[in-house]
Amino acid sequence: MKRPFKIRHEFVEFIPKEREDGVLYVSIAYATAVHNCFCGCRTKVVTPISPVGWQLTYDGEAVTLWPSVGNWAFPCRSHYLIKRDTVVWAGDMSEDEIAWGRARDKAARATHFHGRPGAVPELEVQTGTPQRKKGLWT
């Protein structure tokens, strides 16, 4: 497990093409945050901010992005949280967790777009056995 480390956030209107490592660029105008993957591989990670995407919190000093960033589509497959300008590693994701995360995203979107009340997407980082919770979304 890698150790947590501090990053910086930068509020911008347009996401710059040349991005510094260790910086989370936040465009409120476009409701998007972009950063170079914090594992060091520098893959561009785009996190749309929306009720069914990520939620961004700014407490006046630091930025928190929720839920975790799971880069399972990238070769590095890194998975971390950005909590008050700090990257906290969330551990490797197993194939099961990856599948479950995708199902969760899909379910969250379906719930949102069909406007059904009640089913709030579960946003905690899943460290337990995903199988047990699958029933929620089937």
Q: List, in order, residues 6 or more apart from 48 with CB less than 8 Å away.
A: 31, 32, 54
- Span interacting with Zn ion, options 8-16, 31-39, 46-54, 79-87, rule CB under 5 A: 31-39
Cα–Cα distance, 85 to 107 (Å, whole number): 29
Count the neighbouring beta carbons within 10 Å of the beta carbon of residue 102.
13
User: Exactly one of 12, 37, 88, 98 binds Zn ion (CB under 5 A); which one?
Assistant: 37
Q: How far is the CB of 74 from Zn ion (least distance, A)?
A: 6
Size of the site for Zn ion (CB under 5 A): 5
Q: Would you give the DSSP letter of residue 21? A: T
> Which CB atom, from 39 or from 82, has the smaller least distance to Zn ion?
39
- Residues 63-122 contacting Zn ion, CB under 5 A: 76, 78
- Picking from 86, 44, 92, the residue whose alpha carbon sits closest to that of residue 65 is 86
51 upstream amide cis, omega within 30 of 0: no
Q: How far is the CB of 47 from Zn ion (least distance, A)?
A: 14
- Picking from 134, 78, 75, 125, the residue whose alpha carbon sits closest to that of residue 106 is 134
- Span interacting with Zn ion, options 26-34, 36-44, 57-65, 81-89, rule CB under 5 A: 36-44
- Span interacting with Zn ion, options 5-13, 28-36, 38-46, 99-107, rule CB under 5 A: 38-46
> Which CB atom, from 25 or from 108, has the smaller least distance to Zn ion?
25
Residues at the interface with Zn ion (CB under 5 A): 37, 39, 41, 76, 78
